[in-house]
Chains A and B, each alone.
Chain A
Amino acid sequence: MTDTLLFTNIDEPGLNTIDVYLARGGYEQLGRALKMEREDLITELSGSGLRGRGGAGFPMGRKASFIPKGDMQKYVVCNADESEPGTFKDRELIQKNPHQLIEGLIIAAYAIDATINYIYIRGEYDQQADILDAAIAEARERGFLGEKILGSDFSVQLELSRGAGAYICGEETGLLDSLEGKRGNPRLKPPFPANEGLFNGPTLINNVETLSAIPSIIKLGAEGYAAIGVKDSSGTKLVSISGNVERPGNYEIELGTSSRELIYDLAGGPVDGRAIKCWFPGGSSTPVLTADDLDIGYDYDSIAAAGSMLGSGAIIVVDETQSVVELAYKLAKFYSHESCGKCTPCREGTAWTFHMVERIKEGTATPMDLDIMAAVQEQIIGHCLCVLGDAMAMPIGSLIAKFRDEFEAEIETNRNERERKLAEEFAAAEVEIEGISA
């Protein structure tokens, strides 16, 4: 594929300003969408096969069709929290082409008749939030936001809201609570946000990349868009490739491209010709795959068939020199820090897993601990309110399953090392303990 949709003109200087965006045909698709009947527009979005790009991969048009009709206040909330480790695609879209997102969001808002809308951006994206704020102000000034836009009878508002550092606010209901000014604790579902979301109103929540794809869908038509990619994974996808590769970065690919091509041809593969130990296909929350899985197509169903998930489209490559224990340590540390604490299996399970990996590192673990650790992961999966718990349990479970010997070897090495040090300490202190000698 040589063509780009989301990344078209992305590095053009000034694309973040409305004049350049308009000169490149910006907001034309909004004009066309406003002339369509709402139902036809939703049919068009469904027909494109666009699936959510935030993690769960739920069909976007179908989600929009769940929003009840009627004259209650409805909302579109754009999820720009982007905090899944390894993911940085939304950042590039917001920073370089904020109007594409705004245009897509207004089209979605029109489709479900939402007059009040929000973009929730993670607090750390300070520079990007300033750019987006300026873009929203421009769109308002030029009449793309506000009362009766472009001569239609649709009035629409959009506000930017900044988070303040919490991974869980990327989970859609945690995000809603945060937007309502609370601690970002996920809600019990159902009710789903489509029925009862922000301020109890029907709410359509979509990721930045999902909404940014909408103008291209209107432009190409549902069929034109669906023709790109493979069955049940239509369109282009931004992949964030990072970790041990030569050329980390965001790449726009046609869904279904081979994973090897992404990692080796686009990102240059691991440095110094090292081999790949494992890779996360969709952010740190997805089960790891190995070098044997490199030839699978990068699309929702193929990655699922290989036992993992496409997630947010973030590939993290780990080369052969890295320790799996260290990986598990970073994972457990992250999820235990970010667990909101609402459900016991997640709050305790992530913390215990972290302490158990710490024990491996300290040399106080035994191989039996691995079984306990694996069992803890199984007890987390499916037993929590949101999937943050699973998001740790799945990759750690997969690491233990696929690299058990490495864990065992490291447990052994670290234990021996610790015993050697203790023996030295005892010898130095002239203490004698049966069974331990220097």
Chain B
Amino acid sequence: MADAQRHVARFTNDSRIPGWDRAADLTKEPAVVPDAATTEVPAELRAAIEDAVRRFPVGDSAFIPALYAVQEQYGWCSPEGIEQAASVLARTPAALTAVATFYDMFRMEPLGRKTVYVCTNISCSLCGADELLEALEAELGEAPDVHIRGFECLGACDIAPMASVNGIYVGPIGLDQVPELARQIVAGDDPLPAKQLIKRPCADPKVAEK
């Protein structure tokens, strides 16, 4: 019964806010800009960040592309990767972490590389998205290297209920297609090829008439 009355989620140490339960280590000095001369950075990561820097008049604008590059390299925004990006950009790791934690697509924990976003926003949930997420989660179980989560409107409500599998939009997904989709996700195969948004014709009859 006590559980039923607890509306506010609690995290470690009874904190109400995730992350705030991790106390700062006061014995450590604040992180400074990593020394570019001694920080080793994988060549591809460095190249990707330097390319981003060239595209903007101000260096900070490269933060988001840099974080994508870190995520590509390590599978998540690992402290090591952020340190390396910070050294290339000559900024503190904290500056990058602050930006990374704002955005939903950056993984701050080592979750799977195969990302599956199931949209559970209004239009999709009117068409059974919550059931889809539940079924797909159950079907995937503890599949290695897979990260599945509910997501806000992905801009594809015309194919509700839908999912984005590593950036490929598929839908409408019937519950009977869940086992097949789960298998394709785990195997790294093209997800439900016949249901990919990219192949869908425009719904407007004026377009088809011509």
Contacts and interface: CB of A to CB of B under 8 A. Distances in A.
Contact of B98 (A83, A85, A162, A183): A183
Of A90, A165, A425, most B-chain CB atoms within 10 Å: A165
Contacts of B208: 11
Contacts of B102: 166, 183-184, 340
B62 A252 contact: no
B152 A83 contact: yes
Nearest to A179: B61
Nearest to A426: B1
Contacts of A334: 121-122, 152-153
Interface SS of chain A: mixed
B126 A244 contact: yes
Interface stretch (A118-126, A299-307, A376-384): A118-126
B155 A331 contact: no
Contacts of A90: 155
A125 B198 contact: no
Interface in B135-188: 151-160, 164, 167-169
Contacts of A340: 102
Contacts of B8: 355
Contact of A181 (B64, B117, B168): B64
A362 B4 contact: yes
Interface stretch (B21-29, B34-42, B52-60): B52-60
Contacts of A180: 58, 60-61
Contacts of A252: 204, 206
Nearest to B200: A249
Contacts of A84: 153
22 contacts: A2-B206, A10-B207, A83-B155, A86-B123, A88-B158, A126-B167, A165-B104, A182-B63, A183-B98, A183-B99, A199-B57, A240-B157, A242-B123, A248-B157, A284-B153, A316-B157, A318-B126, A319-B126, A322-B126, A331-B122, A334-B122, A422-B1
Interface of B: 1, 4-5, 7-8, 55-65, 67-68, 98-99, 102-106, 117, 120-123, 125-127, 151-160, 164, 167-169, 198, 201-210
